[in-house]
Amino acid sequence: MAIAELHFNATRSLQKMTSATVIVPEGRPGPFPVWYLLHGLSDNHTAWTRRTNLERYAANFPVIIVMPNGERGFYTDAPNPPHLYESHIVRDTVEFIDVTFNTIADREHRVISGLSMGGYGALKLALKNPDKFGACVSHSGAVTFGHGSLADSDLPEDRKWLAEFRPLFGDNPRGGDNDIFTLAQKIERAKLPQIRIDCGTEDFLINENRELHAYLEHIGVPHEYQEFPGAHTWEYWDEHVQGTIKFFAKYLKVDL
């Protein structure tokens, strides 16, 4: 596998230069499917390659792996630019990758996954843009983040989060187009991506993931859901990204 760090313009979405890490198969002619792999809140586009054995795990997986920099934007378009982190992925980055690399540029050959904030982003972007992504995976996702209220609070920790994320989500995103629960309920069943969700039983987000799993079962949205021992750690994600590779390989009908 070859690894490249790209620096390119995201002037339509972020109004600045941005970066992405890309893993490309070597010794194969292509064209290739594309896997978008999203980072968490405290990370950037280098985290997956620095913190896990992703390159080794994917050595026999004939896909291009794109790890964009989503900053702390929850892969969400704010009401006012230049913080259009959803558009940054589904428009600017997808277009750039398809022009630059030898990709199979259709929904059936484009998949997306992520951890924590990126797990939320992967599910949301796939459910909201089913013409772009055919399958999605969330590890330890912050899956209820767009499903609650950002009302005022007297707690200092809450005020810090409110100041940062209210400009992205507004006061009450529940029921809107950043709410995974609402997107799953509204999407045409024929357009549903294949969905996989996992979370560690010691993860502080486990109850959020159980809530989403129960809701998806309630409304009849097919998905895989698994819980494993582990917490919100790179040890957990390093282990379970291997399950994502197997899930996507099965979806893409490729041999590992």
Pick the more confident residue, 106 or 27. 106
pLDDT digits (tens, 9 = 90+) for 11-36: 888 889 999 999 999 988 899 999 99
- Residue 145 belongs to domain spanning: 2-252
Domain count, the chain: 1
CA–centroid distance for 65 within its chain: 12
pLDDT at 4: 95
Name the H helices within 61-155.
85-87, 94-100, 117-128
The CATH number given to whatever domain includes residue 67 is 3.40.50.1820
* Mean pLDDT of the residues in the chain: 93
pLDDT at 159: 59
pLDDT digits (tens, 9 = 90+) for 142-189: 999 888 766 554 445 555 667 778 888 877 888 999 999 999 999 999
Please classify residue 18 by burial: count the beta carbons closer than 10 Å to its beta carbon, then call 0-12 exposed, 13-18 middle and 19+ buried: buried
Residue located via tokens 């796939």: 126
pLDDT class of 256 with cuts at 50, 70, 90: confident
**Could you give the CA distance from residue 255 to residue 138 in angstroms, rounded to a whole number?**
22
Name the H helices within the chain.
47-51, 54-57, 85-87, 94-100, 117-128, 156-169, 180-186, 206-219, 234-252
Q: Looking at residues 58-86, what average pLDDT do you find?
A: 92
pLDDT class of 108 with cuts at 50, 70, 90: very high
